[in-house]
Structure 1
Amino acid sequence: MGNASSSQQAAQSETLSFFTQEELNKVKSEFETGGVENVQPLLEKKVKELDNTELNIAVTGDSGAGKSSFINAMRGLSKRDEGAAAVGTTETTMEPTGYPHPTLRYVRYWDLPGVGTTRFTAGSYLKEMQFKKYDFFIIVSAGRFRENDANLATEIKRLGKEFYFVRSKIDADLYSMKLEGGEFDEDAEMGKIRSDCVSKLGKAGIPDPNVFLISSFKKNMYDFPQFMEALADGLPSIKESVFILALPNTSVQIIWKKREVLEKRIWMLAIISAGVGAIPVPGLSAACNMEILIGAIIDFRKCLCLDDAALRILAERTGKSVEDLKAAAQSFLLGEITAPVIVRMGLGAVGVTVSAVESALYLIPVIGSLFGAGSSFLMTYSILSDALQLLVECAEKVLAVAKGAE
């Protein structure tokens, strides 16, 4: 019983993290004086804020380190895709260039010019790049650790910003070592490279730095999966949730993290549905707002990389067709989301138990009980929870197919 209580408290704490104390007090006051109808606009504002939260990620490092390829990998694109960062053997970035996420337009990766170019010396670089405007930094380095890498890390630390150090092109480094002949232990060689980076960053005054060895073309290998899971650490709660949703689906763990973020939004949408002039759903014993349900499920698909645009990019990369990927997912939720589709889901949600009601209501901060709003809240909550779980399962199946093809 104690473990269940601790789990509920943790879930409630995570849900509350979307709100400031002032916002929570406002929600409580409005609910006590006007009920759900007064709370609805406050939650609509919060959902809009979550959707429009800006996140600016700076990708910096020496010229030729592979920054553009890295940005494309983080956005799930190849250099041939529309909107991809230009990739070349010479310096292709001459000024900070922002690349928006394919579906989350307020998330932007900034490709900064190489610090080692003649146009930008180490002394002028830090000032001209306006470092303060970025939420966190990724230093991309290739080959041996350089003085510029240490200078960048030191300045970022001075600004009080989080940074991650990425040693790129590790696949090429390891391949070259193999060609030299003799005994070769990949894990041991990676350990030496990682230790060298950590040691030299330590000498520059950066204790316990985050160092990852990756290939932008092999996102399921080396340190790339661990890198993806570590990236959100250190961000404020709302920005952390936005960044998690912007990550490509490189592992089951990333998909699960996305589910956790989206679960926190469901109760807000359910209350909004309960407070709106709800549209009756034929064949159901409750009223739901169809626009909210359809919009939420389409949004879930985008965040889980299951929309047609994301599937087309994945199909190109893996040599599979979009139809093959959808067939592997085996879900009607990857087709057009219409009122009959919602009805189909709602019919399966009618038999919700009282314990499920209590579990859902427990996660609602301050308000306490919404039994007065009743059926509309519960039906929306149940339908969206079921839809999210089905889409998570779809994402896992598509990932398995992609890994098999790669």
Structure 2
Amino acid sequence: MEGASSSQQGPQSEIATFFTLEQLNKLKSHFEEGGVKGVTDLIKQKLAELDKIELNIAVTGESGTGKSSFINAMRGLRNTDEGAAEVGVTETTMEPTKYPHPSQPNVSYWDLPGIGSINFPAGEYLQKMKFERYDFFIIISAGRFKENEGKLAEDIKRLEKKFYFVRTKIDLDFYSMRMGGSKINEKKMLHDIRSECVKNLQKTRILTPPVFLISSFEWDEYDFNQLNKTLEDNLPYIKKSIFVLAYANRSVEIVQQKSKMLQERIWMSATISGAVGAVPVPGVSLACDIGILTEEIMYFRKCLGLDGPSLQKLANITNKPVKELRAVVNPSLLETINEDTIARLWWGATAVAVSVAEVALDFIPVIGSIFGAVSSFYMTRRILTNALKDFTESAVKVVKVAYGID
């Protein structure tokens, strides 16, 4: 697919652990020289790098096509929510405006001024928008295909950037037809709209343009989910992970996908935490770095939408009282996370379950066995794993209540 070709993926070890094969071998070498403490600095460096990775998404098109509403939908916000992109019937965006995701600030949507307006004629648009800083572009269209939209797609292609063509306001198209008394065949109408977009984009020598038909207010209708899946699939793995964690919790599948992503960073945090208070026998004490455990567990809660602001946003979107959502969450998971909480909720089961007989991490091919005798690593890993499991189960319950899923 032109404009949205899949990125090249590295070895399976890199996909599973965020490390290249060369970096994994370096970790093994450092472990052999200095034990767990020998690899701690390398893993801290990797986690710091992961936390700094940014994903910048440009949303462009003509004025009045619904760019701001689309940005709000992608950030899981209503147009009236605090921090939402400004929506108006006149041109409201006069310069590229950055809108960080409310729970994943490394993911930012940039609302670009409308192309073709008096302030931003097509011929000057590229130079003024600083296209090079964006990872990919989403061209928003509404109504009839415009010449400027085709030119924009052609210019982005020439810059060797990925783009996706999104036709918004599909719900309004159907509504207008029905209000006018017309009998419509929705399937045929969607096919005709898509065909027109593809045909006009092909005139700009884009042979297989990526086209998605959506409503920014009906997130489970039309191509909205397919758009997210396509964006996700075409990102490099590390950027894909932060994009997935920025999803609004709209289904059980999304919660489970987030949980899987979070699980992949547990071993790194466990290594750092376990190295601080390594003990030869499990169960002696909470021999872990409480600061790291607390930070990671709070991160799990935020990513899975169980912190206060996330629960309130979901309640607003689904018109459910927030107390109904909180009622299905284990009350302890909503408490302040500290050493007492960790010890009370997860330490007891961990001390019983952890054994130095656990000598393999199958999902880390190169360094899978180097932690085999480090019991504190396993205690920390087990605490984080159990915490993630509990948060995931509660997040699934919340989504089911919010959306009335049996």
TM superposition score normalised by structure 2: 0.89
Contact 2:168 2:214 survives alignment (8 Å):
yes
Amino acid at match of 1:329: V
Q: How is 1:15-94 mapped onto 2 (pairs within 5 angstroms)?
A: 15-16=16-17, 18-94=18-94
Deviates more, 1:331-340 or 1:78-87: 331-340
Amino acid at match of 2:110: W
Number of the residue aligned with 1:345 = 346
Q: Does 1:393 align with 2:381?
A: no
Number of the residue aligned with 2:287 = 287
CA distance in 1, matches of 2:265, 2:320: 33
Number of the residue aligned with 2:5 = none
CA distance 1:214–1:324, shift in 2 (3 Å): same
Amino acid at match of 1:349: T
CA distance in 2, matches of 1:279, 1:319: 50
Number of the residue aligned with 1:3 = none
CA distance 1:355–1:255, shift in 2 (3 Å): farther
CA shift, 1:111, in A, is: 0.3
Amino acid at match of 2:376: S
Amino acid at match of 2:346: M
Contact 1:136 1:162 survives alignment (8 Å):
yes
Number of the residue aligned with 1:253 = 253
Deviates more, 1:251-260 or 1:152-161: 251-260
Number of the residue aligned with 2:4 = none
CA distance 1:283–1:338, shift in 2 (3 Å): farther
Number of the residue aligned with 1:216 = 216
CA shift, 1:279, in A, is: 9.7
Number of the residue aligned with 2:99 = 99
Number of the residue aligned with 1:176 = 176
Amino acid at match of 1:106: N
CA distance in 1, matches of 2:357, 2:230: 33
Q: Provide the aligned C-alpha RMSD in A.
A: 2.6
Aligned length: 394
CA distance in 2, matches of 1:351, 1:196: 63
Residues 109-141 of structure 1 deviation map (CA, whole Å, 9 limit, x = unaligned): 100000021111111112211111101111111
Number of the residue aligned with 1:5 = none
Amino acid at match of 1:346: W
Residues 238-267 of structure 1 deviation map (CA, whole Å, 9 limit, x = unaligned): 111111111222333322322222111011
CA distance in 1, matches of 2:372, 2:357: 16
CA distance 1:358–1:160, shift in 2 (3 Å): farther
Contact 2:279 2:287 survives alignment (8 Å):
yes
SS at match of 1:208: coil
Q: Does 1:141 align with 2:172?
A: no
CA distance in 2, matches of 1:196, 1:356: 63
TM superposition score normalised by structure 1: 0.89
Contact 1:279 1:288 survives alignment (8 Å):
no
CA distance in 1, matches of 2:368, 2:217: 49
SS at match of 1:342: helix
Number of the residue aligned with 1:234 = 234
Amino acid at match of 2:200: K
Identity of aligned residues (%): 54
Number of the residue aligned with 1:304 = 304
CA shift, 1:226, in A, is: 1.8
CA shift, 1:269, in A, is: 0.8
Contact 1:31 1:367 survives alignment (8 Å):
no
CA shift, 1:283, in A, is: 6.8
CA distance in 1, matches of 2:165, 2:404: 29
